Chain A
Amino acid sequence: MIEVKNVIKSFGDRTVLSDISFAFEKGKNNLIIGASGSGKTTITKCIVGLQKPDSGVVEYDGNSFWDMGRKKKAKLRQNIGFLFQGGALFDSMTVEENVKFSLRVFSNQTQKEMTDRVDFCLDRVNLHGVKDLYPDELSGGMKKRVGIARAISMNPKYLFCDEPNSGLDPQTSILIDQLISEITYEYNITTIVITHDMNSVLEIGDNIMFLHQGQKWWSGSKEDILETQNKELTDFIYASNFMKTIRDKSQAK
């Protein structure tokens, strides 16, 4: 489980996160949702240690991240898998080398064991015959899958996915969502998904935090979100005509 307590972060005079507290539960898909500029990426960077909060605590299973020494932080990070919005695959490496990267640095496995692990991870994300390709030879959906395969290569305890569906068609988006969800339940890991895709919210949102102007505005599950009367949240959910139509039809019944 990951907990953030009273996290505040400002850039100059601009407060980006105001006193955020939330528990991201183990074995669940924890979603951070909100409009662009609401602080989703900043809170994620504070959690994984890419940015230090001005105040507040980030705890991994009860251990405060910012109080850890360098070695302990490095050790913890080996338990973190991160799927970046743009993939962030190493463009000078093949798919196999990308997935193998952490294993080469941190494990003492033989070449065969590492290759077997790469095969397993690629198989898990339903990718076949792409091991020798470079990232620029892959489609957007394939890049996301390779990103997931790389993220799970070290059997992480925590999985972060930054807008996993951005730039993907609806069908591929659903497949990626399902994949993330399956991995979360299968390995009982703490998954945090940053998204503003309402399909993802309704598909996999076990535990949702809605950020608005840097504040935790609402939290609940996918079942609760459609019942909410919170104005800012309903404005966010029903921003698209598609969602408005669903709501109107549902109300008409």
Chain B
Amino acid sequence: MKFLHLMGEYTLFMNKVFSKPEKWKMYRQNILNEMINLGVSSLPIVAIISFFMGAVITIQTASNTGGGIIPLYTVGFAVRESVILEFSPTIVALILVGKIGSSISSQLGTMRVTEQIDAIEIMGVNSASFLVQPKIIALVLLNPILITLSIFLCIAGGFIAGVGTGAITPYDYEYGIQYDFEPFDYAYSMIKSVVFGFIITSVPAYFGYHVKGGSVEVARASTVAVVQSSIVILVVNFVLTQLLLL
């Protein structure tokens, strides 16, 4: 029952968020600002994590397949598949929830308890649309770019670590990366990144926007937002995998 109530409230909130803006020009400017705040500022963490995860996946795969009947290029193939299909879109989304989701939730929560959202409403501005819509649009547009960069850096990290440690030859790695490549896998990854971009921004925004109380409640909402968004991402990931790959 509580779940249905939550879903109903979330749907109403999204309806309010996606109502017609008061002034498009101002929204466009806000979207650009949010692209910098949410997307560009996430580049370093995405880059570092992706590079090292690619390196670790390569070394682990090589150590588990080496010396047997499995050809060495399988390492590159396994790295590509795991990175494109799962690691970059899903794990990076979970990392971004921690960084961006908590920031959105605490920002909106603070604005709520300090009456800044009431001030926007009283001025006749749709506060949900004004504050949340640019964030959602910005990350839905930027997340595929972040994920593409993550895929590239994972593969590059794998190459440097694999070749650098002597676990695999450059030829085998490159051959494995290109072996039996299905372009749809990349499209699948991009579909997931768009959906996850929406979840990473909209779910924490819902929890932050509806905070009641003070600083303790803002902190609590931020924690709940990260946990709930992570669960939603994992469930939606399962559903999308079923729908798109089977």
Contacts and interface: CB of A to CB of B under 8 A. Distances in A.
Contacts of B125: 105
A101 to B, nearest CB: 7
Q: Which interface residue of A48, A82, A88, A89 has the most chain B CB atoms within 10 A?
A: A88
Interface in A69-97: 73-78, 80, 82, 84-86, 88-91
Interface string B109-145: 0000011101101111110000000000000000000
Contacts, number: 52
B116 A91 contact: yes
B67 to A, nearest CB: 58
B9 interface: no
Given A104-B26, A105-B22, A106-B22, A75 B122 contact: no
B123 A50 contact: no
B6 to A, nearest CB: 21
Given A50-B121, A77-B123, A105-B125, A84 B115 contact: yes
A102 interface: yes
Contact of A74 (B26, B118, B124): B124
A78 B116 contact: no
A90 B22 contact: no
B23 interface: yes
Contacts of B126: 74
Contacts of A85: 115
Contact of A78 (B114, B118, B124): B124
B19 to A, nearest CB: 9
Given A77-B122, A105-B123, A106-B124, A90 B23 contact: no
Contact of B123 (A73, A86, A91, A101): A101
B133 to A, nearest CB: 14
A84 B121 CA distance: 13
Contacts of B119: 82, 84, 88, 90
Contacts of B121: 50, 77
| Interface of B (DSSP majority class) | loop
B173 to A, nearest CB: 46
Contact of B118 (A73, A88, A91): A88
A52 to B, nearest CB: 13
Nearest to B113: A86
Interface residues of A, number: 24
Nearest to B122: A82
Contacts of A82: 119, 122-123
Q: Which interface residue of B23, B115, B119, B126 has the most chain A CB atoms within 10 A?
A: B119
Contacts of A91: 114, 116
Given A104-B23, A106-B22, A86 B115 contact: yes
A85 B126 CA distance: 22
Interface in A46-79: 48-50, 73-78
Given A78-B124, A102-B123, A106-B124, A88 B116 contact: yes
A45 to B, nearest CB: 9
Contacts of A84: 115, 118-119
A97 B58 CA distance: 51
Contacts of A104: 23, 26
Nearest to B118: A50
A48 B126 CA distance: 15
A190 to B, nearest CB: 15
B218 to A, nearest CB: 14
Interface in B4-32: 22-23, 26
Given A104-B23, A105-B22, A105-B26, A77 B124 contact: yes
Given A104-B26, A105-B26, A88 B114 contact: yes
B118 A105 contact: no
Contacts of B123: 77-78, 80, 82, 101-102, 105, 154
A187 B126 CA distance: 27
Contacts of B115: 84-86, 88
Given A104-B23, A105-B23, A105-B26, A76 B116 contact: no
Question: Which 4 pairs from chain A and chain B are nearest by CB?
Answer: A77-B124, A88-B115, A88-B119, A74-B124
24 contacts: A73-B124, A74-B124, A74-B126, A75-B124, A78-B123, A80-B123, A80-B124, A82-B122, A84-B118, A85-B115, A86-B114, A86-B115, A88-B116, A88-B118, A89-B116, A90-B119, A91-B114, A104-B23, A104-B26, A105-B22, A105-B23, A105-B26, A106-B23, A154-B123
